[in-house]
Amino acid sequence: MIEGLLVVLEGIDGAGTTTQTELLARALGRRGLAVHATREPSDGPIGALLRQVLSGRMVVPGDHGPRAPGWSTMALLFAADRLDHLQAEILPNLRDGVTVLCDRYVASSVAYQGLTEGSPSVVDWVLTVNRHARVPDLTLVLDVSPEEAARRRARRSGRPELYEEEALQQRLAHFYKDIDKHFPGHRLRHLDGHLPVEALHQEVLRAVDELRARG
């Protein structure tokens, strides 16, 4: 059995990773390819906890309302969720020859947890705690301006999540542009997140086709 490919989509909040993951899964499925779309935080137990933290629903008993753990605890929770996600969902699918599409992965931890503290050594530490996470076969980074991403987020319902704050998103957009330097030897590709949804989908599909053609 030939192992499936692990393809990751990355970008700031509002870059379009969720939409493009769904479109890609449908397009590959229509071609008869076995495909599994997933996301991080995952739908496993640690992922569920993280989603509560991100949306401000995690209330610490005895405290005065919800509070988010600090960046280092968040980095460890995201890394733990990732390893659990790999063991329970990603690796079994890859072993069955299924192509796995993951909306966010290690690069999100490097960007979000790496930046919230601000010191360069934090990025190394985030990479260290993610050392056992399987390397993706391809990471597609959807680059979009923080202004456009903010406009898209404003159109969504619900209140902003933990990291959906303008100043941080601006720093994240900048950081993502140059994120390749933290992943030497990995296959990363930047795509223009400003393209209309369908045009960007075609670019995503082309990048995955190129990867598959390389075998």
Residues that bind ligand TYD (CB under 6 A): 13, 18, 40-41, 54, 78, 104, 108-109, 112-113, 161, 163
**Residue of 6, 206, 210 lying closest to 106 (CA atoms):** 6
Least separation in angstroms between residue 106's CB and ligand TYD is 7
Least separation in angstroms between residue 31's CB and ligand TYD is 26
Least separation in angstroms between residue 56's CB and ligand TYD is 12
Least separation in angstroms between residue 62's CB and ligand TYD is 26
**What residue type is assigned to position 36 of the chain?**
H
CB 139 within 8 A of CB 105: yes
Closer of 33 and 117 to ligand TYD (Cβ): 117
User: Which structure tokens are listed for 7?
Assistant: 């393809």
Closer of 4 and 41 to ligand TYD (Cβ): 41
Closer of 112 and 175 to ligand TYD (Cβ): 112
Cβ-based neighbour number of residue 100 at 10 Å: 25
Closer of 168 and 207 to ligand TYD (Cβ): 168
- Unique residue bearing structure tokens 């991080």: 40
Least separation in angstroms between residue 164's CB and ligand TYD is 6
Q: Which residue's CB atom is positioned nearest to ligand TYD? A: 112
How many Å apart are CA 52 and CA 70, to the nearest integer? Answer: 15
Least separation in angstroms between residue 32's CB and ligand TYD is 28
Closer of 49 and 54 to ligand TYD (Cβ): 54
Closer of 20 and 108 to ligand TYD (Cβ): 108
Taking every pair of Cα atoms in the chain, the longest distance, rounded to a whole number of angstroms, is 57
